[in-house]
Structure formats: structure tokens, C-alpha cells
Amino acid sequence: MDKRVLVRGVVAKALGFAGVFWAMGAFLFPVTAQPVPAKVENIPHLVTFGNKAETSWGDDDFCNIFFFIVPKSYQGPFYIRVYDPDIGGEIDEINVVFDTKTEFSVYGGEGCWTDDIDPTGTFKNGTLLAKKVFGLSPEYDQKWYTFGPFNPTEGEYAEEFQGYIFKIIALGVDGDDGNLYNYFLSSSATQNLPIEGGDAFTYEYGFRLWNDTVNISHIYPYVDNRVVSIKQTNFDWDDDGEIRTVTVARLYQLNKVSGEDEWAESEFKIKEKEKNTSFDFQFIKRKNPMVRNNNVVISVRNQYGELLPFHTVPIGGVPKFQYGAAAKPIRKKH
Ligand SMILES: [Ca+2]
Ligand SMILES: [Ca+2]
Ligand SMILES: [Ca+2]
Ligand SMILES: [Ca+2]
């Protein structure tokens, strides 16, 4: 059984009648996780800078790693498409002149996920399936480049996701400009056609915020039942507005926010109700003066120091604070 269906089932049971309707929503309104960032995240673009950039531009390590899950029920070829893979023209962030190169590489096989969960590790484990370096190239400006076709079984099989995992790494290999881009997991080489049950996740999320104060971006770490406490880390938030944590048991909580080229950390204990749910980190920009071109890097670790995954579509759905939940005593297990 699909893990998120299982999770929904458990949560629905806990919520009773209302929860059953909420859980049914998964089947009535299937969500697609294939655009990365996903619609529910409301993030304009991912961002990776060239390795000669100052980290004050908002990228701590010039690397973004995403994992895609192709469900075992899907047997056709599939593609990983990259929007605006070039560094130049529209969308991208210039530093004097565009002179940056980004290497996109796709991995499958044993270890592509299980050996590379921490972005400070080697991160190129697994079998290299495809690679391409992009620079200033108008032919890819605001266009899609397609990696593939790939066969799902070329991925690393993960029982817990009932699917095959693939990894794509965006690495700044030269220059000092910002490459902004998006991904799509597609069943077509020429269009964005979602794969039913497909999913994507990352452990360290490097992205661009909107250049307006109306849009709120979100990311959704999944907190499983082993998690006792988490540490949320943000890099180069530039003293923009607020980073809020919303959960089933928190109306909202403010996180410590970072300034220019620095890290900030907030640690908090997980409540019983929050186990096996997704958290909603909300990025609410300051209205005046507005911070433009704000790039930020976010990660979350549990009490063991393990990174928690951000699924582009939250497992169990977007968490909503449940009024009255906080007033109920927590039943202790003996
Ligand atoms: Ca430059
Ligand atoms: Ca471009
Ligand atoms: Ca780009
Ligand atoms: Ca920033």
C-alpha cells in the first residue's frame, strides 16, 4: 500500500468521521507531485549558483539535490524535464555578466538514494544515467530540456515508497551567477504529463522567493513517529518577514530568521499529535521595504541529526491547525 494512503488511513481513523472525508479527498482530487516546486508550495523557482559566487547571494553550497519516486505500478518510460536550465536571458540572476555553468546529472541504481541522504555527503552515489552542462544558451532560455527516456527499474527500489527512486543533482561548476529552474517528472518527452502516484522530495531546499509580498511560499517536511524534536535551519533569509511553522497542533509558531549570509536555527519539541504528519513552513515576506531576489536554503533535522524529507506534495495533505486540539490531555502510554 502506498505510504501516504496508509498515513491518511491512520490519521483519518484518529480524526473520525470528518477525517474520513478528508482522507477521501486523496482519491477524489488526486494531487500531482510532478512539477517541482509543486503548486501547493507556491515557490517560483529552484536556485543553484555557480561555485565562484559569494554565499551571500543565498546559496550555501552551489548544489541542489532532488529525488523522484516512480511508483512500481508505472511501467512505461519516463523523463525528467528541466525548465530554463540555461544561465542567461530571462529568469536567472546575473552577477556582472553571465558566465556560469550548471551541471545537471541524473542517477539511479543501488545507493542513489540510500547512500546519499545527507547533502554534505558524497551525493554522487548510484549509477550515472545522464548528464549535461548548461551555460549561457538562448536555445534553452525559458524552454524545457528533457532527460530520458529512463526505465523505472533503473532506479533504486524503495519498499517504503513502493517505487523506484531517481536523483537529480544541479551543481554549479563554474561562474558566480544564479541559475533558476524548475523540474517536471513526465511520461512524455515533449510535454509535461504527470505520472500517477509520482512524487518528489529533497532534504535541503534551495529556492527563490517571489518578488512580491502577496505570495506565501510553503515547504512541508514530514515528521514520522520516531521524531521527538526538530531543528529548523534557514540560510540567508536576509531579515525578510516571518518564517512560520503551522501544524495540526500549532496555530503558528515563529522561527528564528537569518540575516545576510548567515544561518539561524530553531529547535522545538514534537507534540504527540504531530507525529506522522507534515509540517507547513510558511515564508511570509516583509512588506516594506520588499526584499528582492531573495534566495534561501532550508533544512530540518530530527533529534538524531538526520535530515527530514520535504515532499513537494505533503504526505497526509497540508496540515491544518485543529482548534481545541491543544486543550485535550495527551493520553500517556504505560
Ligand atoms: Ca557572472
Ligand atoms: Ca534563463
Ligand atoms: Ca535558468
Ligand atoms: Ca537570501
Separation of CA 179 and ligand 3 centre (Å): 4
The conformation of residue 312, written as its DSSP 8-state character, comes to S
Q: What residue ranges in 209-315 does DSSP mark as E strands?
A: 217-219, 222-223, 229-235, 242-247, 250-254, 263-269, 277-278, 280-284, 295-302, 310-311
Q: Which ligand is nearest to the CA of 263?
A: 4
For residue 30, the model assigns a pLDDT of 44
Q: Which ligand is nearest to the CA of 285?
A: 4
Q: Which ligand is nearest to the CA of 45?
A: 3
d(Cα 141, Cα 105) in Å, to the nearest integer? 19
Separation of CA 209 and ligand 1 centre (Å): 21
Q: Which ligand is nearest to the CA of 53?
A: 1
CA–CA–CA angle 192, 154, 77 (5° rounding): 35
Q: What is the pTM of this model?
A: 0.87
Nearest to 167 by CA among 180, 189, 150, 192: 150
Separation of CA 181 and ligand 1 centre (Å): 17
Phi/psi of residue 313, each to 5°?
Answer: -115, 120
258 and 235 Cβ atoms separated by less than 8 Å: yes
Separation of CA 286 and ligand 4 centre (Å): 13
Nearest to 247 by CA among 228, 224, 270: 270
169 and 63 Cβ atoms separated by less than 8 Å: yes
For residue 331, the model assigns a pLDDT of 57
Cell of 172: 554549479
Separation of CA 101 and ligand 1 centre (Å): 10
Separation of CA 270 and ligand 1 centre (Å): 43
Q: Which ligand is nearest to the CA of 89?
A: 2
Domain boundaries, the chain: 1-30, 31-208, 209-325
Separation of CA 238 and ligand 1 centre (Å): 21
Fold assignment, 31-208: Jelly Rolls (2.60.120)
Task: List per-block mean pLDDT (blocks of 10 residues) for the chain, which spans 334 residues.
Answer: 39 39 40 83 98 98 96 96 98 98 98 81 90 97 98 97 97 98 97 94 97 96 96 97 96 96 96 97 95 97 95 92 64 53
Q: How far is CA 252 from CA 23, 139, 221, 300, in A?
A: 23, 44, 15, 17
For residue 119, the model assigns a pLDDT of 62
